[in-house]
Chains A and B, each alone.
Chain A
């Protein structure tokens, strides 16, 4: 790392890493609890994934294989810049775009389609860590509400949704109860990804740099999206007008989360949001 001599491995100094690791341990010990930490100044604006980045830098070692995703893609600007920054400040670390090869995955707004394994850690970037912020402005009151597991006002929001629209309209950041107590904001992942949190083999960590909070869904921990007994949680269904499940126009996959976009002729196209999954399907379709 000769051109950047003077920086520690992983940019953060060892004291900062130690503090973050302690926060991580506490977050794992109290699943879903938002652990406050001293979010450091990073050489990029808060809101660009500094929370996730600090988690990654505190966890990464020279033998790690890193994958960085932005909305499912390895090639979009946030992913590329974060990956370059980590390559630059962590000499010896290798990076990959293949989910199965990675030991550490930092992601923005998606969980990979390929089920994660026990030897992997997923780090999610979080803009708003507190699910209660939509119903209560005061952080002091929110803390009491979390402590007493008082989430009735979030449920009222779901009730009002069903009254008005006949379904729950939360598309992302779906409030999810971890281990039967704390409700978390699982970062802006789509509803499609929420079931992946439940009893995940991999450790899932959430870092909010601007809000200075770290929380975790430890491996094999219960994660239940809030819902009513008779109006269960459901994911996006991607059915067309005839009721057929839409497929990816690139790989033909019909069981992945799809992005909708319009091509130059104005036609609507659907494509796997997870680019690595899409490439994998093209190489060897699993179905």
Chain B
């Protein structure tokens, strides 16, 4: 299988940082706040690979740094150190060495992001169709008729009623907003999709339909995905491989079944045992 993404030694420190930041934080120290300089070590030495059509689950409790991983990879933030390489057809992009314009190009053309909070992913002042049009326009499609058709097809694919295409997303239910977000993320048929807690806060039947949709998309389009969630059910259903994070470090990684059936790290054992 082709590699899509290779992340090596990704670190993110909020604050001034000092020489003893790394050694005085982490799962053993039970904190990510450096006692010497007060910096927050949000991520340290995070490395993983992602292959074509694969779904990688990132799990961990609140504040473990799992969202920070995708935010860095989607250029919402810049990491303190580390490398990430994106393999696109026959090209390679060294993500954190690109200039802002190239990063924006990749973000608009080759990556998709679905946030937990639809307010981050959607513009609530323009219609659902307009949100998808925005992404298509960013990728230089300049034909109104075609934009309209593509937006329709995407919304139909994500099961949003076409009669509501020209309504503001603010008038939609939470599940529908998430569907519009997914449609928007898929607009440019990106080979790589980041999903940050997409089903959190939705009721169970809506969750199930969104998860079904994500699986269908993965099978249809062979999209590689990084799924961030604290919900073990979501990981079990979607992810082939998973990593477990705590205090900014990866404490366990491997096949999802393996992690869930035979957790090695004490924290993972507690996490799995506490799942309902």
Contacts and interface: CB of A to CB of B under 8 A. Distances in A.
7 contacts: A156-B133, A159-B129, A159-B137, A160-B126, A228-B142, A229-B143, A230-B143
Interface string B136-150: 011000111111000
B155 to A, nearest CB: 13
B104 A156 contact: no
B258 to A, nearest CB: 44
Given A228-B143, A230-B145, A163 B101 contact: no
Nearest to B134: A156
Contact of B137 (A144, A147, A156, A230): A156
A152 B138 contact: yes
A230 B130 CA distance: 17
A147 B104 CA distance: 12
Q: Is the interface of A mostly helix, strand, loop or mixed?
A: helix
A194 to B, nearest CB: 18
B137 A155 contact: yes
B137 A148 contact: no
A160 B130 CA distance: 6
A21 interface: no
Given A148-B100, A148-B104, A156 B143 contact: no
A162 B137 CA distance: 15
Q: Say which size band chain A's interface belongs to.
A: 10 to 19
Contacts of A235: none
Contact of B144 (A148, A153, A164, A228): A228
Contact of B130 (A147, A150, A159, A228): A159
B144 A230 contact: yes
B134 A153 contact: yes
Interface of B: 100-101, 104, 123, 126-127, 129-130, 133-134, 137-138, 142-147, 166
A170 interface: no
A159 B133 CA distance: 8
A156 B144 contact: no
A178 B142 CA distance: 17
Give the top 7 A-B pairs by smallest Cβ distance, nearest first: A228-B144, A152-B137, A152-B138, A229-B143, A156-B134, A155-B137, A159-B133
Contacts, number: 47
Given A152-B138, A229-B142, A163 B127 contact: yes
A231 to B, nearest CB: 5
Contacts of B101: 147-148
Nearest to A164: B166
A284 B10 CA distance: 76
Contacts of B130: 156, 159-160, 163
B123 to A, nearest CB: 8
A138 B71 CA distance: 22
Contacts of A230: 143-146
B144 A162 contact: yes
B144 A150 contact: no
Contacts of A155: 133, 137, 142
A163 B137 CA distance: 15
Contacts of B137: 152, 155-156, 159
A148 B142 CA distance: 17
Nearest to B136: A152
Contacts of A160: 126-127, 130
Contacts of A162: 144
Contacts of A159: 129-130, 133, 137, 144, 147
A201 to B, nearest CB: 29
Contacts of A147: 101
A141 to B, nearest CB: 12
Contacts of A229: 142-144
A230 B100 CA distance: 31
A230 B145 CA distance: 7
Given A144-B100, A156-B126, A231 B144 contact: yes
Of B100, B104, B123, B126, chain A has the most CB atoms within 10 Å of the CB of B126
Of A159, A160, A164, chain B has the most CB atoms within 10 Å of the CB of A159
B133 A150 contact: no
A207 B101 CA distance: 29
A147 B101 CA distance: 9
A144 B104 CA distance: 11
A156 B126 CA distance: 8
A164 B225 CA distance: 35
Interface in A141-179: 144, 147-148, 150, 152-153, 155-156, 159-160, 162-164
Nearest to B133: A159
A163 to B, nearest CB: 5
A163 B129 contact: yes
Nearest to B102: A148
Nearest to B140: A152
Contacts of A148: 100-101, 104
Contacts of B100: 144, 148
A39 to B, nearest CB: 30
B134 A163 contact: no
B150 to A, nearest CB: 12
Nearest to B137: A152
A147 B137 CA distance: 17
Contacts of B123: 156
